[in-house]
Amino acid sequence: MGNLPEDTFLTIAHPSEGLYKEKGSKFLAFAYPVSTEEHIKDYIHALKKKYYDARHHCYAYILGKDKERFRANDDGEPSSTAGKPILGQLYSYDVTNVMIVVVRYFGGKKLGASGLITAYKSAASDALENAKIVPHILTKDIKVTCSFAEVDFVMRLAKNYDLQIINQDYTATHVIIQLRVRENLLDEIRRQLDFAEKIQIKN
């Protein structure tokens, strides 16, 4: 997708699935958009419950715009033959805020370390091939407290910069407008709103 703006990263829009088969073993891959470790735990728990009879539930994830949080788990497979190849595919597709779990059903024949690496890599790749990879824009919510006379200006500003109006609260003396602003526009929007009585930025 070319060079992305600093406040944008690639992720997947919806859960997707992949499959790889080798010597009777089946590798079912499940990719999920995630934003917290709690999301990750919930998905893993649900998959272990659904595929309770599978031998392994291996996974990897990356979180954060700068990919600062990541983990790979082999779940009993030989070291670095499962989680690491899955993680490698996340890096290869340049996505973040994504987790992939690969559920393995053993087919009776051992694949060896190289065979396992190929299998987990291929299953993860298939899940990402079937996913819709989309840019995600980082935003901040700001609350602008202004007079009634200034409301029209704030509304025009929202329209001109394509800002999302989250909420408007009219009191007896002023108006509080909550806007969602993309991060790389934040300084410009604050300059435009320097007349406001108060600007509160929520992380």
In this prediction, residue 203 carries a pLDDT of: 47
DSSP the chain: --SPPTTEEEEESS-EEEEEEETTEEEEEEEEE-SSHHHHHHHHHHHHHHTTT-SEEEEEEEESTT--EEEEE-TTSSTTSSHHHHHHHHHHTT--SEEEEEEEE--SS--HHHHHHHHHHHHHHHHHHTS-EEEEE-EEEEEEEE-GGGHHHHHHHHHHTT-EEEEEEE-SS-EEEEEEEEGGGHHHHHHHTTTSSEEEEE-
Convert the pLDDT of each residue in 73-97 to its tens digit.
999 999 999 999 999 999 999 999 9
Domain presence at residue 1? no
Asked if residue 30 and residue 121 are part of one domain, the reply reads yes
Asked if residue 128 and residue 142 are part of one domain, the reply reads no
Mean pLDDT of 106-119: 91
End-of-domain residue from the set 113, 135, 157: 135
The percent of residues in the chain predicted with pLDDT above 90, rounded, is 70
If pLDDT is split at 50, 70 and 90, which confidence band does 2 have?
Answer: low
CATH of the domain at 174: 3.30.70.240
In this prediction, residue 38 carries a pLDDT of: 92
* Overall pTM surpassing 0.85 (yes/no): no
The strand pair at 25-33 and 164-170 is best described as unpaired
In this prediction, residue 59 carries a pLDDT of: 97
CATH of the domain at 46: 3.30.230.30
If pLDDT is split at 50, 70 and 90, which confidence band does 69 have?
Answer: very high
Mean pLDDT of 119-133: 97
Asked if residue 149 and residue 129 are part of one domain, the reply reads no
Would you state the torsion angle of the CA atoms of residues 131, 29, 85, 75, taken in this order, to the nearest 10 degrees? 140
Domain presence at residue 3? no
Asked if residue 179 and residue 128 are part of one domain, the reply reads no
End-of-domain residue from the set 135, 167, 184: 135
Residue 133 has pLDDT above 80, yes or no: yes
If pLDDT is split at 50, 70 and 90, which confidence band does 34 have?
Answer: very high
∠ Cα 13 16 21 (to 5°): 155
Asked if residue 117 and residue 163 are part of one domain, the reply reads no
End-of-domain residue from the set 103, 135, 167: 135
If pLDDT is split at 50, 70 and 90, which confidence band does 5 have?
Answer: confident
Burial of 68 (0-12, 13-18, 19+ CB in 10 A): exposed
Residue 199 has pLDDT above 70, yes or no: no
Asked if residue 190 and residue 145 are part of one domain, the reply reads yes
Asked if residue 176 and residue 94 are part of one domain, the reply reads no
Residue 17 has pLDDT above 80, yes or no: yes
In terms of residue numbers, what domain contains 191?
138-202
